[in-house]
Structure 1
C-alpha cells in the first residue's frame, strides 16, 4: 500500500496551513485527497503525487500566478511528470 500523509504532515511538507489546504481543496485548486472514515470522523490522506502537485501549486503562487493559473500549471506539470 502506498504511503499517504495526514493534513498536518502535508501542511509541514508544503508550507500551506491545514485551513489553506481545505480551502484550496473546496475551491478546486488542488486534487481531492483520499478520505478515510473511522466511525464518525473523516480523515484526509494525501499521496506523494499530491504533495508534489501542491508544492508546484505553491511555487507558481510564489511566482505571482493567480490561484486558478497556478492550479492549472501545477496540474499540467503533474501530468507531464506522470508520463
Structure 2
C-alpha cells in the first residue's frame, strides 16, 4: 500500500496535475495564498516540494477558479473560510 501522506510533488508535477502553471503557483506562494513549499537542495539549486495537503490546496483553488470564483474568494474557500465570492455575485462584502 502506498503511503500518500509522505508523497511530495515538484512544482512541475503539481502544476501539471492541477491544471495551472508553475508561474501561478509561484505567484500564489509569493502572495501567501498557499504555504511556502519546503525546498530540496541539489547542488547550487533548490527545488520546491509540495506536500499532499499543499497539493490539495492548489487543486482546490484551481477548481474554485474554474467554477467562477475570484482568486481571493477561491483562496478563502480552499482554506475553508467561505463559499461566497463568485464573479458577478454581490455578496455585500
Map of 1:14 onto structure 2 = 18
The structure with the largest strand share of the pair is 2
Greater per-residue helix proportion: 1
Aligned residues: 77
Could you say which structure has the larger radius of gyration? 2
Normalising by structure 2, we get a TM-score of: 0.73
Query: Which residue does the alignment assign to 2:53?
Result: 49
Report the TM-score when normalising by structure 1. Answer: 0.81
Q: Which runs of 5+ in 2 are unaligned?
A: 82-93
Q: What stretches of structure 1 move > 4 A for 4+ residues in a row?
A: none
Between 1 and 2, higher relative CO (CA 8 Å, sep ≥ 6) is seen in 1
Where structure 1 has 5 or more consecutive residues not aligned to the other structure, the ranges are: 78-83
Q: Aligned-residue CA RMSD in angstroms?
A: 1.7
CA–CA separation in structure 2 for the residues paired with 1:29 and 1:70: 10
